[in-house]
Amino acid sequence: MADLRVAQRAYALQPVRSRAVRVARSVLAFVIAAALGAGALHLYASAHATYADASPGACVTAAPVARDALQADLERAQLALAQESASRTAVQKSADAAATEVARLNGELQFLRGQALAQSPRTRR
């Protein structure tokens, strides 16, 4: 009967460490996270300090590029685009031809399987 009362009692988990240790660990985690955040903020600020030193009205501009160089780059890009388009068209035609061939072979296979099934009862006689 005593065993039955022990089994029916409500049990609660008891903390293994004291409250002071748990609070100290939480505070330590907070301090470490704050230090990491401050370090990240410092790195970000130092990386972007060059933009902050510029006068407010100053604008960052790209170096001037010769018009001929721009035209050559544009022509190269257009040629690459045309080549890629032609390549994609060739690949699509090849894929379509392969799909047609697969459909034809699948039809032949179905026909031959049907023929084999039709002949098997005759050979069994």
Domain ranges of the chain: 18-52, 76-125
Tell if the pTM clears 0.75, that is, is over it: no
Taking the CA of residue 55 as centre, how many other CA atoms within 13 Å lie in the half-sphere pointing to its CB?
Answer: 2
pLDDT score at 36: 94
Q: What is the DSSP string of 17-62?
A: S-HHHHHHHHHHHHHHHHHHHHHHHHHHHHHTHHHHHS-TT----P
Residue 108 has pLDDT above 70, yes or no: yes
pLDDT score at 50: 64
- Cα Rg of the chain, angstroms: 39
Per the structure block, which two tokens stand in for 40? 């990240």
pLDDT score at 48: 77
Residue predicted with more confidence, 33 or 5 = 33
Contact 22, 15 (CB under 8 A): yes
Q: Taking the alpha carbons of 96, 99, 105, 107 in that order, is the dihedral positive or negative?
A: negative
Residue 2 has pLDDT above 70, yes or no: no
Banded model confidence at residue 46, pLDDT cuts 50, 70, 90: confident
